[in-house]
Amino acid sequence: MAEEFEPRIVAFLCKWCSSAGADLAGVSRMEYPPNIIPIQVMCSGSVSPLYIFSALSHGADGVLVSGCHPGDCHYIKGNYYARRRLALVKKLLEYIGLEPQRFQMSWVSATEGLKFTQIIKDLVRELQPLGPQNKLRRKF
């Protein structure tokens, strides 16, 4: 049987919620695919578009940015800024010709371990048929 493609997903997780949510999923022994490379950031609002382009150029098959639900930001409004900025990034990447599934965003609070596992499962399932991301990968 041919081996299934395992996407590598870079996940920028907010320290105050999504990271804690991922932690909760771990300590509660929930199972989810080991395809993500979590990177803890202080706020989803601190994720520069450059981080996303850079992750894709270093060979990530998908990028996930996860932050607090609107209204729950530890810094009051960081996730609102993130939402606006990353919406533009998503549109730009699609316009350039990258598959829209490659860049995703989610709101995960510290108690939503289950939701986090579900998001990762969905993401892996969506990225598997696309195969490796070779479009923005640095090629020299």
Partner 1 sequence: MVSLEQLKEEVKKILSSGNIKYFIGYENFSSGWQVRPAFIRKPEDVDRLVWTPACFHNLVRFLHDEKRRRAREKNPDTRPVGLIVKGCDSRAINVLIQEKYIERKDVYLIGVSCELMGVIDELKLKRHLPGLKPRKILFSPKETIKVITDDDKEIEIEASEILADRCLECPANFPVVADIILGEKIKKKVTSPYQSISPYEKMSVEERWSFWQEQFSRCLRCYACRSVCPMCYCDECVADSIVYAVTADTTAEEKAQKIKWVERNPEPSENTFYHLVRAIHLAGRCVDCGECERVCPVEIPLRLLNKKLEKEARELFGYEVGFDASQPPLIACFRDNDPQDFIR
| Interacting residues toward partner 1 by CB under 8 A | 49-50, 53-54, 57, 70, 77, 80-81, 83-85, 87-100, 104-107, 119, 122, 135-140
DSSP 29: T
Q: How far is the CB of 18 from partner 1 (least distance, A)?
A: 11
Q: Which two tokens stand for residue 69?
A: 């639900």
Closest CA to 109 of 42, 27, 14: 14
Q: The tokens of 60 are what?
A: 């990530």
Q: How far is the CB of 106 from partner 1 (least distance, A)?
A: 4
Structure tokens at 113: 């371990």
- φ/ψ (deg, to 5) at 104: -130, 160
What's the min distance (Å) between Cβ of 38 and partner 1?
16
- Closer residue to partner 1 in complex, CB, 30/88: 88
Please, which residue, 2 or 71, has the CB nearer to partner 1? Answer: 71
Closer residue to partner 1 in complex, CB, 23/99: 99
Query: At 131, which amino acid appears?
Result: G
Shortest distance, CB of residue 2 to partner 1, whole angstroms?
24
Two structure tokens written together for 44: 């989803």
CB atoms inside a 10 Å sphere around CB 19: 22
Sign, CA torsion 70/73/79/80? positive
| Residue among 2 and 38 whose Cβ is closer to partner 1 | 38
